[in-house]
Amino acid sequence: MSDQTSIWQERHQISMARSKKSQELLKEYDATVYQPALKSLKERCAAAGHGRQRLWDNGIGWAWNECTACGARVGDAFET
Ligand SMILES: [Zn+2]
């Protein structure tokens, strides 16, 4: 294994450990504060008809429209 590959793998492991720790620390906050707040925001935006829409394409055959104000997926996803 080259030095560059070894360094990349170590960096990847460090980043993955940080991501896992972040998820653990935010789990309760996300469930009790963040997700309910976003849900309420998207419901209020939907009731007002949402804002402008932006087309998202995942590059592997699926696309959808997203409200640029609240970030909600609007309408059904479709194949491209
Ligand atoms: Zn919206």
pLDDT at 22: 98
- Quote the ligand 1 centre to 24 CA distance (angstroms): 29
Q: Measured in Å, how far apart are the chain's first and last C-alpha atoms? A: 40
Q: What pTM, to 2 d.p., does this model score? A: 0.73
pLDDT at 13: 98
pLDDT at 43: 97
pLDDT tens digits for range 13-56: 999 999 999 999 999 999 999 999 999 999 999 999 999 999 99
**Phi/psi at 76 (nearest 5 deg)?**
-90, 145
- Quote the ligand 1 centre to 68 CA distance (angstroms): 7
pLDDT at 77: 82
pLDDT at 71: 96
Q: Exposure of 42 by Cβ count < 10 A (0-12 exposed, 13-18 middle, 19+ buried)?
A: middle
Instruction: Give residue 1's identity as a one-letter amino acid code.
Output: M
**Phi/psi at 61 (nearest 5 deg)?**
110, 0
CB atoms closer than 10 angstroms to residue 68? 12
- Quote the ligand 1 centre to 48 CA distance (angstroms): 8
